[in-house]
Chains A and B, each alone.
Chain A
Amino acid sequence: MIVYARFSEVRYFSWSPHDVMWAFEISVELDDTHLTASEAFKRYRLKRHKFHEHAIEHLIIAIRQYESTYGIDDDAHVTLVYSKNGGQEQKWNWPE
């Protein structure tokens, strides 16, 4: 897994603890309703933090998995804004 993690953005079980810090914000829109931050965290059962301490891809995978399975009928529009270690902001949108 350590070797695999060098060629992938996914870092599960790869013994790379605490080597990155992502500041992030999730915004979710269902039909015309904009979920509050706490509702958005609740939707994906995430701990309410401003920072994510693993690969950001883990967050993206979780949201993608939710929206394409449990929440497939919600037709949600999700925007994830994130920056690595205080660097440049990036954006990821669902649907992709």
Chain B
Amino acid sequence: MSVDHITDAGKKAKGDRPYFLASEQTEQLMNITMALAQELAVTRERMDTLERLLESASIFSREDIESYVPDSEAAEQRQLWHQEYIARILRIMQQSREAIKEKQDGQPSTEDVMKDISS
């Protein structure tokens, strides 16, 4: 008998789960956020290990990281990376803003669209 470890690890504990925040979905989102915070911390600790190992092997020192100055090509690449990263995370804001204008331009509701094309 084999066990799918990934799915099995995330099983719920038997018994009703209480929700505390006014909106259950808000709380579910919070849970996703905290899990993300956890994984970011794990990544950070791994990076810290990398730095320390590289430093002990005299590849470079951590001071080199602190005093690192990107050349103009690296600077541009890193800045553009930040912009794309932010755009991905705040995608929902972009789309919510577009929705304002779309509504002002008279976009009908989904229900109205259905009625319209079915008549």
**Is chain B a partner of chain A in the same complex?**
no
Chain A residues in the interface with B (C-beta under 8 A): none
Chain B residues in the interface with A (C-beta under 8 A): none
